Amino acid sequence: MLDLIIKNGQCYINGNLEGKDIAVKDGKIFKIGEILEEAKEVYDAKKQIVLPGCIDTQTHFREPGSTDTEDLHSGSRAAVAGGITAVFEMPNTNPPTSNIKEFQKKLDLAKNRMYCNYAFYFGATADNVNQLAELKDLEGCCGIKLFAGSSTGNLLVADEKDIDKVFQNSSKVVAVHSEDEEILNKNKKLIKNGDVHSHPIWRSEECAISSTRRIVRIAERYNKKAHVLHITTKQEIDFLSQHKGNITFEITPQHLTIYAPDCYEKLGTYAQMNPPLRDKSHYDRLWYAVRNNLNDTIGSDHAPHLKANKEKEYPNSPSGMPGVQTLLPVMLNHVNDGKLSLTQLINLVCENPVKIFGIENKGFIKEGYDADFTIVDMEKKILIKNENIESKCGWSPFNEVEFKGTPMATIISGKIKMREGKILGDPEGTPLKFS
C-alpha cells in the first residue's frame, strides 16, 4: 500500500504544469501519472499547484544563545507554516558555530525538534581557516559563512589577508555577508541618534559594492564558489551580472517589496536590517535582476528580534526581521502581479539552491526523489497577522498586509506537516545531504 497520493493537482514537472497524480512510498516519489493503488492518505490538490519542496537558504534561528527570540523548533514551525520544506541556518549564535564540536551540538539540538529539513553553515573565523578544507563531507553542512563586515563575536573576518585564506582553504560554497567593515567604521559619524533614516547612509552603497568587488576578486583568484547574500544595490547588480559562473547571489523578499524612505516612515526601526532597505532606484534594479534571471536565489534572511528590542531608539535597536513564514506569500503575490513567472520563482527557491549547493534528491518532482512538496493556491488570499506568526518574536513587517497566493500544504518525506495553516504531527526533520 502507498503512503500518500496527491491527486487532481497541477504539478510542476520539467518546467511545465501538468495535471498528474503523485504516489509516495517510504518517503520517496514512487510514481507520477495514473495511480491505481490504494494509499493510507490522499491529498486532494484540486485547483492547487504542487511544487517541489521550497528551500530557504538564509535563516537565523538564534539557537544556541538567544532562545528567548527564536530557537530551532519555533523557527522550523514558522518555516513549514509558510510552505518551506528545508532551511539553511546561520552560525552567528552564542557560542558561534565555528568548530566541529559546536557544529555537532547544533545537529544534536535539531534532532527530533525541527519540523523542516535543515542544514547549517560553518562559520569562518580568522583562526579556523585550517579546518575549512575538512568540511566537504561534514554531515548537514551546507557551506561556509563569511561575515566580511558586521558580525558578532569572532565571526567577523574583515582583513583581506584572512578573507583570502578562507577562500584558499574552502572546500564548500562560501556564503558572504558583504559589507566593508572599514567603511562601516568610517561612516559611523553619519549615524543620527533617533533617526533610522540614517541607517542606509551609514551602511552606504559604497560599503556594499567595495566589499563585493573584493569578495569576487578573491573567489575568482582561487576559482572557488562564492554566494553573495542579500544584495541591495544597483551597483552590485551591474557588477555581479558580469561575474557569473562560480559567483552566485541572493536577493531577499523584503528588498523586493518595501523600500526607503517609505519603509522607515511606516515601520521605523522594524524596517532596520543589514544590509539596509534602500531607495526605489535600488529596488527597481533588484527587480531588473529578477526579471532577467541574474540573481540565483531568494532567501528570507529570517533574523527575528523581540519587539522590546526593535523598539529601542536607533541605533541601539538591532537589525533584522522575521521572514521564513512570509517568503512564499510575498513572492507568490509578486508572481500574481506579473513581476516574475512561477517558473522563475521555482528556479530561485527550488532548483537553483540544489544546483549551487549540491543538495541531493531535492528541488524537483521526479520519481525516486524525496517526497517534499509545497502545495499552493495561487488564487487564495492570505492576510498576514502578527498573532499568526509562529516565530517567537511574534511580529512581521507585513502585518495586516494581504497577499494573493497562499501555501496550502507542506509535505516532507511524504508526511503532511502543514495543512491550511495548521501544523501537524511531530517534528521529524532531518539533515540535508550534499554531493
What would the pLDDT profile of 47-106 be if each residue is shown by its tens digit?
999 999 999 999 999 999 999 999 999 999 999 999 999 999 999 999 999 999 999 999
Name the burial class of residue 29, with classes exposed (0-12), middle (13-18) and buried (19+) by CB atoms within 10 angstroms of its CB. Answer: buried
- Across residues 213-235, what is the average pLDDT? 98
In eight-state DSSP terms, residue 65 is T
Catalogue the active-site residues: 301
- Across residues 7-19, what is the average pLDDT? 97
- End-to-end Cα, the chain, rounded Å: 31
Provide the pairing of β-strand 54-59 with 117-123: unpaired
What is the average pLDDT score of the chain?
97
pLDDT score recorded for residue 149: 83
Q: Hey, is 39 helix, strand or coil?
A: strand
- Across residues 383-407, what is the average pLDDT? 98
* Full DSSP string of 203-259: S-HHHHHHHHHHHHHHHHHTT--EEE-S---HHHHHHHTTS-SSEEEEE-TGGGT--
Q: Which H or E element spans position 335? A: helix 327-336
pLDDT score recorded for residue 73: 98
The predicted-structure confidence for 104-127, as pLDDT tens digits, reads as follows: 999 999 999 999 999 999 999 999
Set out the domains of the chain in order of their start, with CATH numbers.
Answer: 2-50+370-381+403-423 (2.30.40.10), 54-357 (3.20.20.140)
- Across residues 355-367, what is the average pLDDT? 98
Residues shown for the chain: 435
pLDDT score recorded for residue 180: 96
- Contact call for residues 178 and 212 (beta carbons, < 8 A): yes
Cell digits of residue 406: 497562499
* Statement: residue 9 has pLDDT above 90: yes
- Across residues 311-324, what is the average pLDDT? 98
Provide the pairing of β-strand 54-59 with 49-52: unpaired
Determine how many CB atoms are found less than 10 A away from the CB of residue 319: 18
What percent of the chain shows pLDDT beyond 70?
100
Cell digits of residue 28: 520517496
Determine how many CB atoms are found less than 10 A away from the CB of residue 267: 18
pLDDT band at 264 (very low <50, low <70, confident <90, very high): very high
* Statement: residue 154 has pLDDT above 90: no
In eight-state DSSP terms, residue 170 is -
The predicted-structure confidence for 189-210, as pLDDT tens digits, reads as follows: 999 999 999 999 999 999 999 9
What percent of the chain shows pLDDT beyond 90?
98
| φ/ψ (deg, to 5) at 107 | -60, -40
Residue type, 322: P
Q: What is the CA radius of gyration of the chain?
A: 21
- Across residues 376-394, what is the average pLDDT? 98
Determine how many CB atoms are found less than 10 A away from the CB of residue 385: 13
* Statement: residue 151 has pLDDT above 80: no
pLDDT band at 153 (very low <50, low <70, confident <90, very high): confident
